Amino acid sequence: MKKIIVSLIVIVLATGLISNASAHKAEIVGNYKIEVGWKNEPPIVNEPNAVELVLTLASDYEKDSSQSQSSTPAKESDLTGLADKLEVDITLNGKKTFLTLNEESKFPGVYHSEFTPTEIGTPNVHVYGKIQDVEFERTFHPEAVEESSVPINTESQNNVDVKIPDWVKNNAKWWVEGQVDDSTFASGLQFLLKEKIIVVPATEKGTAQNTTIPDWVKNNAKWWSDGQIDDKTFASGIQFLIKQGIISV
């Protein structure tokens, strides 16, 4: 049961983090909230990326009384199955590209469209469509596209900020206490790394010979969950798991 609870917590919190990404721009349309941004932020020239559109139900505080609202109560199912019903285009430095949306199977209401920016600039994303009987048209201004990143050398990697949300400590504590097995904990870390919820310095990747996590990593997790070591020290254990191929990113 604990294993199932951990998986649900990861999914729910990840969904919340996706919809609250710092550079996403939000608009309220009747009973609904629409957020648009980049899947990977910041967007870099010539690096594959995707425009992300997240639909959620607006809270009572957020609802826009000036907009026409659906005659039927808003519900979560209103937010799904809209990939073919929304028209989305992106304009970057005067060049317009029409996008094809794909809904994320694991996160209903989250849509992506692959797009690789080829030059720096501030894009406009135009969205037109209808949710239930509420028709809308909005233009969003997501984060500007930046110059290509410069390869990072080993010395500079050590100065990269490590960011690990505090709630991950609960998962680490359950793992240390034996309520979650190695495979489940490693899978959770892998998901969080891929979604950039956990950020660690770039690390050489290896191929796993087995999936057993060394005891010293578990000790680090215990000390970190108790606040005895900082994020950067705990991240060294995560880097080790990546180098050994126990976690693939």
In this predicted structure, the answer to whether residue 137 has a pLDDT above a threshold of 80 is yes
For residues 191-209, give the mean pLDDT. 69
In this predicted structure, the answer to whether residue 56 has a pLDDT above a threshold of 50 is yes
The rounded percent of the chain whose pLDDT value lies above 70 is 76
- What's the pLDDT band for 126 if we cut at 50, 70, 90? very high
For residues 195-223, give the mean pLDDT. 71
Stronger pLDDT, 4 or 83, i.e. the higher one: 83
- What's the pLDDT band for 213 if we cut at 50, 70, 90? confident
CATH 1.10.3470 fits 22-140, yes or no: no
Residues forming CATH 2.60.40 domain(s) in the chain: 22-140
pLDDT of residue 8: 40
- Give the C-alpha distances (Å, rounded to integers) separating 23 from 51, 142, 207: 12, 6, 35
* Of 186, 233, 241, residue with least CA distance to 3: 186
pLDDT of residue 132: 85
pLDDT of residue 37: 93
For residues 72-92, give the mean pLDDT. 91
Token digits of residue 114: 């692959």
Most confident residue range from 14-28, 119-133, 218-232? 119-133
The rounded percent of the chain whose pLDDT value lies above 90 is 29
Dist CA 136 CA 57 (whole Å): 15
Burial of 227 (0-12, 13-18, 19+ CB in 10 A): exposed
Dist CA 56 CA 16 (whole Å): 10
In this predicted structure, the answer to whether residue 159 has a pLDDT above a threshold of 80 is no
In this predicted structure, the answer to whether residue 167 has a pLDDT above a threshold of 80 is no
In this predicted structure, the answer to whether residue 62 has a pLDDT above a threshold of 70 is yes
pLDDT of residue 162: 65
Residue bearing tokens 């060049």: 95
